[in-house]
Structure 1
Amino acid sequence: MASKGNSTFSVFGSDTAITGDIKASADLHIDGSVEGDISCSSLVQGETSSVKGAIEAESARLAGTIEGSIAARELVILKTAKITGDVFYDALTIEQGAQVEGRFAHRDARAKTPAQSAGKPELAVAG
């Protein structure tokens, strides 16, 4: 991943609770709770973290609780994740034991009807 100059990384600790949308060009690591939408380059969500809102990122590694839609180019859902919402991705890895209540769709399919999206998205299941 290329970036302008020095790479920026922001961490929200487990004692942090945010209400409102987060927009960052930086990479984010969230262990606390967020009520609002998150838009960033790269997101790492800790096991104790909870997000109520939509997530949009180039890459995301999710391990906590999420209530909302997720759109990511590269998405990794770890076994501790509990997701309620639709998931849009280009490349997807799901560890055995992850819980997802929602639909999975390739990101190109967001603008198409199911009959039009005949492409084969990449899917990997980690054990």
Structure 2
Amino acid sequence: MASKSNSTFSVLGSDLAIKGDIKASADLHVDGSIEGDIACTSLVQGETSKVTGAIEAESARLAGTVEGSITARELVILKTAKITGDVFYDALTIEQGAQVEGRFAHRDPKKSAQPAAKPQGDSKPELQLAN
């Protein structure tokens, strides 16, 4: 299945305006306008693109406007980017001239393991039922 996702690449052209969340199991190239959250493996945002919503990706290369939080393992913010929102990353590259209004936070692998522990918290009702 990994090889299939590597060969898939979706493009949202500059003439598109989308309202709603987008989930892609592979790579996504966005030149249009999106009002909604984006979750994908790899995101490339063109200079003309505007995203209003949260972005979650393994890798993201941003050149347009983003109004919302960004979470990425590898994040590249190009000089044409204008970002308003908090940025969570493992590896970060910012070109000189990029505009970012928000907080930067390096993701700690130990802390990212904690959300995986939350489903164990769902076992509490099972414990209560056993009592």
Say yes or no: TM over 0.5: yes
Pairs aligned (count)? 110
**Distance (whole Å) between structure 1 residues aligned to residue 85 and residue 108 of structure 2:** 17
Q: TM-score, normalised by structure 2?
A: 0.80
More helix as a share of residues: 2
Which runs of 5 or more structure 1 residues have no equivalent in the other structure? 113-127
**Distance (whole Å) between structure 2 residues aligned to residue 47 and residue 16 of structure 1:** 14
Q: TM-score, normalised by structure 1?
A: 0.82
The alignment-based identity, stated in percent, is: 84
**Distance (whole Å) between structure 2 residues aligned to residue 106 and residue 33 of structure 1:** 28
- Which structure has the larger Rg over C-alpha atoms? 2
Matched residue, 1:100: 100
Give 1:4's aligned amino acid.
Answer: S
Matched residue, 1:30: 30
Q: Tell me the SS of whatever aligns to 2:108.
A: helix
Post-superposition CA distance 1:10-44 (Å, at most 9, x none): 00000000100001102000000000000000000
**Distance (whole Å) between structure 2 residues aligned to residue 96 and residue 106 of structure 1:** 20
Matched residue, 1:71: 71
Give 1:23's aligned amino acid.
Answer: K
Post-superposition CA distance 1:58-101 (Å, at most 9, x none): 00000000000000000000000000000000000000000000
**Distance (whole Å) between structure 2 residues aligned to residue 90 and residue 59 of structure 1:** 10
CA RMSD in angstroms, aligned pairs only? 1.7
Which runs of 5 or more structure 2 residues have no equivalent in the other structure? 113-131
Does residue 58 of the first structure (1) align with residue 58 of the second (2)? Answer: yes
Matches within 5 A, 1:70-89: 70-89=70-89
